[in-house]
Structure 1
């Protein structure tokens, strides 16, 4: 048990440090709430560890319970505060957070007073029941509050990592509700002195009664923290993958761009305003896509309908790859005609597939297919104007 609880405590403390200090980027909205959440959960789990529990209770008997319960309430408050800061406007978020902070202060103060009353020799089941009532009431309010926010936002967000993270956090809330049901049962048992729950034995495993008192809250904390942290971890990974794709796409478009820019130097955009963005993969790729598109547009008087028809007869145009191969054959023939000073007798229309793309990624994906066919498959144009077979 020491290894489990101390391990989770260290992991959560490291995650809190990552959020607050180690991100290397401007802190996003909700950073301090997330730091408080992870730090409070780290304290709660540390207090559950028998090693820490024995150490603090050697000073004040049973104080580990108060520490862990208070930390759990602070963490629950931080979860709700983070969700409000991310999902509501600033004024409304602050208003709701203030109300919940007041309720948190009342709950923790009341628990502390009841704990001190017990320590003065007035231990009774009813006093502990009142203590549990404050704890369960605020924790249940916070869990339901966050569960509603998580489900609502998971249905409306567009980012896959945020949607997945919120659903994982909502699953964690379900385990938290299981834990609250157990605590409520114990509260009723103590208040009515029914003797249904054995409170004298300590947990030494994660099954049996401990499945409700230890395993359920542990899974709740793990899933909620994982769900809320997932978007922050996924974002730099997705950005690295995006930059890698942009760099690879930029290089793959190089041969086609080189031939077009050599034949039509005017398509190359001015570099006067690009010095500061010379290493920005997004900027460089967008610039290359624009220059290739301009080059293909400039070739319009040389785009032969005869070449286009011959290429369409030679390959299957029912796929994007086949349509790109036809376009590559037309572009290659048009470049040859441009260099020879010949114009098309009948101008070939632009590829219908090219008009379907409205953003950088889809434009790039189309031109990558064209560039691949251009360098790998689009053969030379024979003297009679019919291209050699072009395939995808």
Structure 2
């Protein structure tokens, strides 16, 4: 099982890295974070390979417990790759490089300390030796220096990743990105659990208390039970962090396509009401653009023009129309946003008719329906609301009936 996980997963990660670095059609440049993402994937692939039993056996054949040094060093490099990836997302390239440079120096220093401590420790006193297994409290000080250096850097990197993840989560509006960041945070939790295990195990051993018994190797993911902390916890952290940082990036094109489809559909739904509003309020129309405009630009302009047009028609908003529509909505049993949209559509329809016929302005115009203050500054919420109004403007019998019964000059008299 362990061999399958530690060989199959790196293969998938390397394939994903190749996918990010592939040439694009038509000379399209790669995304700005493609290199950082590929480096992240490769770093984690190599780190996971370090846990493969065959690799560990080969390393231990050179000298006792060399596999531990190799896997630990690779894990430190992978953790820094996460921090570097997040820095690349949160800062400009020059800023990201400047912030990454001292972290690279710290990694080099910690790795050197670990290597020196490892090779200064006699083979018959290293972790898997019978003496150290039985008398961890009497283990050489160099092993404790090794553990301290490893835990210190990994803890700092994990905190760094959490801080950068939080910084990014406050900036993204994409749900898939937020889910990925939550997975990354969960992965950091498992890494911290692993580091806590390291500290507790060291303290227990110094007190001659064997809290996590078992041989030097794991037979399954949870046996002996210390492997749940020493192997499964960091591996789970690797999986969650890697998935959280890479899967959303791979799903982003699909999310973007879905958003573009929604923007086109919403712009199309707004079209009938937009045409009628701009026909009586031509001054709200912004500079025209060609048919190749992006969906988000089309929707943005249409929402702005409709909102401005509705404000321009404010003096024609009839309270009589609003009251009649509200009564009809209540009798029909409509509630919530649908009811508010029907009433607003009826009032806007009446205002359009009044402006078209040149009716006198209302002495006491009807207020807007639907909590416009709560939507102020939120383009998407405004688009959703205007789409609801536009759909009712086209399809609601209440809107058609109410606006037909309050045509000018009756509209003037209703004020």
**TM-score, scaled to structure 1:** 0.75
Q: Is 1:104 the counterpart of 2:115 in the alignment?
A: no
User: 1:9 — aligned with what?
Assistant: 10
2:345 to 303, 324, 328: 328
Q: Is 1:314 the counterpart of 2:328 in the alignment?
A: yes
Q: Is 1:168 the counterpart of 2:189 in the alignment?
A: no
Shift, 1:73, TM fit: 1.9
Distance 1:311 1:383, change over 3 A: closer
Q: Is 1:71 the counterpart of 2:74 in the alignment?
A: yes
Trace 1:36-185 onto structure 2 (pairs within 5 A).
Answer: 36-54=39-57, 64-83=67-86, 97-112=100-115, 123-125=123-125, 132-133=143-144, 135-152=146-163, 157-158=169-170, 159=172, 164-183=179-198
Deviates more, 1:162-171 or 1:3-12: 162-171
Distance 1:79 1:370, change over 3 A: closer
Distance 1:263 1:54, change over 3 A: same
Distance 1:374 1:188, change over 3 A: closer
Deviates more, 1:80-89 or 1:329-338: 80-89
User: 1:390 — aligned with what?
Assistant: none
Q: Is 1:225 the counterpart of 2:242 in the alignment?
A: yes
User: Contact between 1:83 and 1:149, CA under 8 Å: does it hold in 2?
Assistant: no
User: Contact between 2:82 and 2:161, CA under 8 Å: does it hold in 1?
Assistant: no
Q: Is 1:244 the counterpart of 2:261 in the alignment?
A: yes
Per the alignment, in what secondary structure is the counterpart of residue 123 of structure 2? coil
d(CA) in 1 for partners of 2:192 and 2:115? 24
d(CA) in 2 for partners of 1:323 and 1:10? 55
Deviation digits for residues 200-227 of structure 1 (CA, Å, limit 9, x no counterpart): 5532211122323321221121122233
Distance 1:22 1:70, change over 3 A: farther
Structure 1: segments with no counterpart, 5+ residues: 388-392
d(CA) in 2 for partners of 1:362 and 1:144? 41
Deviates more, 1:365-374 or 1:226-235: 226-235
User: 1:358 — aligned with what?
Assistant: 376
Deviation digits for residues 44-69 of structure 1 (CA, Å, limit 9, x no counterpart): 22232234445666788865444322
Deviation digits for residues 262-301 of structure 1 (CA, Å, limit 9, x no counterpart): 5666654432xx34x8331111012222333344455456
Q: Is 1:346 the counterpart of 2:362 in the alignment?
A: yes
Distance 1:80 1:117, change over 3 A: same
d(CA) in 2 for partners of 1:96 and 1:383? 68
d(CA) in 1 for partners of 2:189 and 2:284? 59
Shift, 1:250, TM fit: 0.6
d(CA) in 2 for partners of 1:189 and 1:140? 16
User: Contact between 1:324 and 1:370, CA under 8 Å: does it hold in 2?
Assistant: yes
User: Contact between 1:207 and 1:215, CA under 8 Å: does it hold in 2?
Assistant: yes
How much is the aligned-residue C-alpha RMSD, in angstroms?
A: 4.3
Q: Is 1:26 the counterpart of 2:26 in the alignment?
A: no
d(CA) in 1 for partners of 2:301 and 2:279? 16
User: Contact between 1:8 and 1:42, CA under 8 Å: does it hold in 2?
Assistant: yes
Number of residues of Structure 1 aligned to a counterpart in Structure 2: 378
**TM-score, scaled to structure 2:** 0.72
Trace 1:348-387 onto structure 2 (pairs within 5 A).
Answer: 348-353=365-370, 355-356=372-373, 357-359=375-377, 360-377=379-396, 378-380=399-401, 381-382=403-404, 385=407
Per the alignment, in what secondary structure is the counterpart of residue 379 of structure 1? helix
d(CA) in 2 for partners of 1:192 and 1:306? 84
Per the alignment, in what secondary structure is the counterpart of residue 124 of structure 1? helix
Shift, 1:354, TM fit: 6.8
Deviates more, 1:343-352 or 1:248-257: 343-352
Per the alignment, in what secondary structure is the counterpart of residue 48 of structure 1? coil
Distance 1:254 1:19, change over 3 A: same
